[in-house]
A and B are shown apart, each in its own frame.
Chain A
Amino acid sequence: MRLALRIAPPATAVLAALVAGHLWVGSDLPPSRMAELLIGSPPETFEDIRFSHATLPRMALALMTGLALGLAGSLFQQVTQNLLASPLTLGAASGAWLAMVAGTLIAPTLAAEHGAWLSLLGASLAFGLVVAIAGLRGLMGLHAVLAGMAVNLLLGAVASALLLLKSPYFGHLFVWGAGDLGQTGWDRTLWLLPRLLPVLAIALLLGRGLALLRTGAAGAEARGMTLAPFLAIAVLLALALTALSVTAVGMIGFVGLLAPNLARLSGARRPVEELLASAALGGILLLGADLIAVIASNALPDMVPTGAATAVLGAPALIWLLGRRLGAQDHIRFELPPGPARLSRRTKFAVLLAAVALPSVAFLVEQNPEGWSLTLPEALILEFRWPRVIAAAAAGLGMALSGVILQRLVRNPLASPDILGMSSGATFALVGAAVLGGGSVHDFSAGLAVAGSLCVLAMLLWFGRRHGHAPAALALIGIALGALLDALVKFALAAGSEDSFAIVGWLGGSTYRVGPEAAVALALSMLAALALTFAFRRWLTLLSAGDTVAAGRGLSLPLARPASMTLAASIAAVVTAFLGPVSFVGLLAPHMAVMLGARRVETQILLAGVLGALLMTCSDWLGRMALHPMQLPAGTIAAVLGGSYFVLLLARGRILQQ
């Protein structure tokens, strides 16, 4: 209660200021008329209606959605004991959104009538996948967030494939996907309120259980608490809150992540205090972000969706906030996923066979108007085909190398260049230039992409230095960048022009625009990268053994860490500059290599490189031929294949060993 007394006055003051701001910007009525309307005077002019049916419900919805997201974030964070848990970082929000997008495209009436259930299903499935990848105990740490980011990438790939094939004439989906709070009446608000209140009430009853949970799982069970049903209820409530907010206003990032952290910062200690403070702060945060979106919409030619504003505010706030709290205390040892101790002869043979067969298929098997056929293509067609096959293989090799380095550096088998924001820098630079410069994403050069990557790398190194290059700090930058980028892309998409469509295509990571010279250049630079990574092999072995061991063996950590990080980021930057962002390959290839028995760094580098190249060759071929003549980006296919691989692993019960 003392907390309430301390927080309430400033919070109320901020809230009042934001409400005043909204009324100032959103209505031209004098305050006396507003007061009349509030006490029930009938509206007469459009200005009256705008105040009572657009500005007021917009504020109410911002507060309620922010409250739901803040509460969901707090529940997720308390259940998982993880500062970085939130509807967005655990995949739940993207699951809900993809379910709604797919529903709207496939069964519009169903989606319109039962949107909330559909998005709850999507959120639950996505979260279930994250839990399955990270493992239940893994939810407590970096594992969960990395798995969540991977699931976000996967779902994002599926959504963008749908959009590419369905074209940009689902403009309303885009606006809503970017999280727009614009209202034309009280319907949404009145729909949300009765659904929100019971969830809120139940959540507040969980206080005692959450307090027990803090003593640790074992402690809670010793005091006679059955953990499983309690956790299930808490998580289900958080998922329901996520689904409700996504159904009501679309994708709003960051609020659920920031609010609980701000609540703790302002001194919320007991679980119920934390829940209440997070909810209140979530509402205030979203109301503030929405005010910025309204002001920006008035100033710019195109409307700015609220979700874009939350990310632009949220990313720096998150980095600042958590940057103060992340220690360099990180004594994780790198645990390889399970697998045989060495490569069996059978595995070697199978890989060799695939290395011959897949490229041959990529070159020779085609779909044309007559159907599938195996033909030696004529010279001109071959001229278009070989650069794409070579570029795909080289990109796969590069991303795999980058992944091996990062997984050993971060000491986490779920780390990868795309998840840690290594490709985001390049993407950010290109998409940003296209959005701000008002051109097509294809007009810009690879140089700009590399420059963007270098900026991110500099940021990572600077930020990492303050935290001894702790893995959590890396992951954090990755998340912040990824979400910022997402907001930028959604802002571009909301405009719904042909240029936005080009951006979606480029984000898939495609070999379409790699010409012969570029393909050769990319292949040569990736072979050089292979040689360099090989030269780093002793460092990588020591880095993954833990700081004490590494330092004991005479490895200079202040030198080795930034150097290997620079190598990993540069490789990813070059690939991104040529193809666009390629996700999942950097995560999967090193993982698969270990599961096949490549447990030493040297064999892992080689085998992961070969597997990455094969995975991309295969994805590129599928992208070129599966829906011929419609071209799907190789990176999108690789993400879908990668996601399926994870699901397959889960089905066979090969979950990551903690």
Chain B
Amino acid sequence: MKYLRVLILSLLPVAAEAVTIEDRRGPQDFQTIPQRVVALDWTMATQLLDLDLAPIGAPEIELYRDWVRDPAMPASVQEIGRRDAPDLETLARLRPDAIIGCDRSADDVSSLERIAPVLVFDCFSARHDNIAEARRIYLALGALFDRERLAMERLATAESEIAGHAADIAPDVAQLGTAAVVRLNGDATAWVYGSNSFAEAALESLGLSNTLPQAASRWGVALRPVEELASADRGALLAILPHQADPALFESPLWRFLPAVRDARYLEVDPVWSYGGALALLRHVRAFHAALSGPGA
């Protein structure tokens, strides 16, 4: 009896903080709030940074600073190697209390679990809505780190800011009606954003429909010949920087004759990362708004 009381007492403070998070495999129990967290990919890194948490380790940080930029990766974060093969020895040395990642295979998860408890989420899949899933994961992480309120606030603020952007450019939108989002690539191809991408969701929240719809896929993007951009016969054609296009493309007759270019409906968008976390939607809306109401528009 005495022992039982001791046992219950010893459990109490822990039980008060215990939290259960639903990941791909089902409910995962955490007895305490993890302090030292490793993000296995850029998507999860942005989700954590958007909760004002700095991971202790993340992959390919140098490239992150080139491509993602916002949210900024603090200098304290340690490099853990390639994002498809993070170095397990480095992870073990970091002594994390939790490892968080997207779409890892079951075998990878079981080796990671020897280091620390793992949360693995299905972030990108053709079978679900990537954007809704990003929100759900963001809230789940908020619950794990006892920052649920912050997460809710951030999402609410984002929503009202998005509504503000939408209201702000409503006159332009009424005129345009539609837009398409692409990344130019090489001298004759372009990635076109379609269903299941943050880019298309951002267009929709601004009240624009996608002029170049693509079937839903895992990443929400398709590689197409550049001449297909001619189908964007109305509305804005938004190209996300940095260009990977040959400068020659912009000189070519084909480019100059593209309806969107000829009618000056072609606009460039400041760099924004297409595979971020829940707040990526807001970042896309901001970037699109800036482009649509900028000097080029």
**A interface residues, Cβ below 8 angstroms from B:** 43, 46, 49-50, 53-54, 164, 167, 169-172, 175-176, 180, 182-185, 187, 297, 301-303, 366, 368-369, 377-378, 380-381, 383-385, 438, 440, 442-443, 494-499, 501-502, 505, 510, 512-513, 515, 624, 628-631
Which of B92, B111, B114, B189 is close to A175, meaning CB atoms less than 8 Å apart? B189
Are the C-beta atoms of B223 and A302 separated by less than 8 Å?
yes
Are the C-beta atoms of B92 and A630 separated by less than 8 Å?
no
In addition to A46-B230, A180-B188, A380-B115, 5 A-B residue pairs with Cβ atoms within 8 Å of each other are A171-B186, A297-B224, A385-B89, A497-B219, A498-B84
Q: Which residues of A contact B219 (CB under 8 A)?
A: 497-498
What 5 pairs between A and B have smallest CB-CB spacing?
Answer: A172-B186, A182-B188, A629-B81, A629-B87, A184-B252
**Which of B5-13, B150-158, B170-178, B210-218 has 4 or more CB atoms under 8 Å from chain A?**
B210-218
CB distance from A322 to the nearest CB of B (A): 34
Are the C-beta atoms of B85 and A49 separated by less than 8 Å?
no
CB distance from B5 to the nearest CB of A (A): 36
CA distance A184 to B185 in the complex (A): 13
CA distance A89 to B273 in the complex (A): 41
CB distance from A81 to the nearest CB of B (A): 39
Listed by A's residue number, 10 A-B pairs whose Cβ atoms lie within 8 Å are: A46-B259, A172-B244, A175-B189, A182-B188, A185-B253, A301-B214, A385-B89, A440-B103, A501-B84, A631-B81
Are the C-beta atoms of A631 and B82 separated by less than 8 Å?
yes
CA distance A164 to B60 in the complex (A): 11
CB distance from A554 to the nearest CB of B (A): 49
CA distance A50 to B217 in the complex (A): 28
Which of A169, A440, A499 is close to B63, meaning CB atoms less than 8 Å apart? A169
Answer whether A303 and B186 are a contact pair too, CB < 8 Å, given A49-B257, A380-B115, A515-B111. no
Q: Which residues of A contact B255 (CB under 8 A)?
A: 184
Are the C-beta atoms of A513 and B226 separated by less than 8 Å?
no
Q: Which of B80-94 touch A at CB < 8 Å?
A: 80-90, 92-93
Which residue of chain B is the closest to A49 with respect to CB atoms? B257
CB-defined interface of B21-57 with A at 8 Å, one 1/0 digit per residue?
A: 0000000000000000000000000000000000000
Q: Which residues of A contact B251 (CB under 8 A)?
A: 185
CB distance from B27 to the nearest CB of A (A): 23
CA distance A530 to B79 in the complex (A): 41
Which residue of chain B is the closest to A510 with respect to CB atoms? B85
Which of A43, A170, A381 is close to B93, meaning CB atoms less than 8 Å apart? A381
CB-defined interface of B88-110 with A at 8 Å, one 1/0 digit per residue?
A: 11101100000000010101101
Are the C-beta atoms of A171 and B191 separated by less than 8 Å?
yes
Are the C-beta atoms of A369 and B78 separated by less than 8 Å?
yes
CB distance from B180 to the nearest CB of A (A): 15
CA distance A295 to B296 in the complex (A): 36
Q: Which residues of A contact B18 (CB under 8 A)?
A: none
Are the C-beta atoms of B188 and A513 separated by less than 8 Å?
no
Q: Which residues of A contact B126 (CB under 8 A)?
A: 438
Are the C-beta atoms of A184 and B105 separated by less than 8 Å?
no
CA distance A497 to B222 in the complex (A): 9
Which of B82, B114, B221 is close to A383, meaning CB atoms less than 8 Å apart? B114
Q: B182 at the A/B interface (Cβ < 8 Å)?
A: no
Q: Which residues of B contact A180 (CB under 8 A)?
A: 186, 188-189
CA distance A176 to B258 in the complex (A): 23
Q: Which residues of B contact A442 (CB under 8 A)?
A: 105, 107-108
Are the C-beta atoms of A54 and B217 separated by less than 8 Å?
no
Q: B187 at the A/B interface (Cβ < 8 Å)?
A: yes
CA distance A167 to B110 in the complex (A): 26
CA distance A267 to B252 in the complex (A): 43
Which residue of chain A is the closest to B260 with respect to CB atoms? A46
Q: Which residues of B contact A384 (CB under 8 A)?
A: 88-89, 92, 111, 114
Q: Which residues of B contact A515 (CB under 8 A)?
A: 107, 110-111
Q: Which residues of B contact A510 (CB under 8 A)?
A: 85
Q: Which of B79, B87, B254 gathers most chain A CB within 10 Å?
A: B254
CB distance from B88 to the nearest CB of A (A): 4
CB distance from A514 to the nearest CB of B (A): 10
Are the C-beta atoms of B218 and A497 separated by less than 8 Å?
yes
CA distance A513 to B189 in the complex (A): 35
Which of A164, A182, A185, A366 is close to B189, meaning CB atoms less than 8 Å apart? A182
Are the C-beta atoms of A167 and B105 separated by less than 8 Å?
no
Which of B186, B191, B257 is close to A176, meaning CB atoms less than 8 Å apart? B186
Q: Which residues of A contact B187 (CB under 8 A)?
A: 172, 182, 184
Are the C-beta atoms of A167 and B60 separated by less than 8 Å?
yes
Are the C-beta atoms of A46 and B189 separated by less than 8 Å?
no
Q: Which residues of A contact B93 (CB under 8 A)?
A: 368, 381
Q: Which residues of B contact A494 (CB under 8 A)?
A: 223
Answer whether A301 and B87 are a contact pair too, CB < 8 Å, given A182-B226, A384-B111. no
Q: Which residues of B contact A43 (CB under 8 A)?
A: 253, 257
Answer whether A505 and B189 are a contact pair too, CB < 8 Å, given A46-B230, A169-B67, A303-B223. no
Q: Which residues of B contact A169 (CB under 8 A)?
A: 63, 66-67, 244
Which residue of chain B is the closest to A368 with respect to CB atoms? B93
CB distance from B255 to the nearest CB of A (A): 6
Q: Which of A167, A185, A502 gathers most chain B CB within 10 Å?
A: A185
Are the C-beta atoms of A630 and B107 separated by less than 8 Å?
no
Which residue of chain B is the closest to A48 with respect to CB atoms? B257
Q: Which residues of A contact B245 (CB under 8 A)?
A: 172
Which residue of chain B is the closest to A516 with respect to CB atoms? B111
CA distance A501 to B257 in the complex (A): 35
Answer whether A184 and B114 are a contact pair too, CB < 8 Å, given A54-B227, A384-B88, A442-B108. no
Q: Which residues of B contact A628 (CB under 8 A)?
A: 81, 87, 90
Q: B246 at the A/B interface (Cβ < 8 Å)?
A: yes
Q: Which residues of B contact A172 (CB under 8 A)?
A: 185-187, 189, 244-246
Q: Which of B90, B224, B227, B245 gathers most chain A CB within 10 Å?
A: B227
Are the C-beta atoms of B60 and A505 separated by less than 8 Å?
no
Which of B188, B217, B227 is close to A301, meaning CB atoms less than 8 Å apart? B217
Q: Which of A440, A443, A630 gathers most chain B CB within 10 Å?
A: A630
Q: Which residues of B contact A629 (CB under 8 A)?
A: 79-81, 86-87, 89-90
Q: Which residues of A contact B110 (CB under 8 A)?
A: 515
Which of B108, B218, B248, B252 is close to A499, meaning CB atoms less than 8 Å apart? B218
Which of B86, B188, B215 is close to A184, meaning CB atoms less than 8 Å apart? B188
CA distance A167 to B66 in the complex (A): 12
CA distance A183 to B85 in the complex (A): 37
CA distance A629 to B38 in the complex (A): 14
Q: B249 at the A/B interface (Cβ < 8 Å)?
A: yes
Are the C-beta atoms of B185 and A171 separated by less than 8 Å?
yes
Are the C-beta atoms of B85 and A631 separated by less than 8 Å?
yes
Q: Which residues of A contact B225 (CB under 8 A)?
A: 182, 297, 303
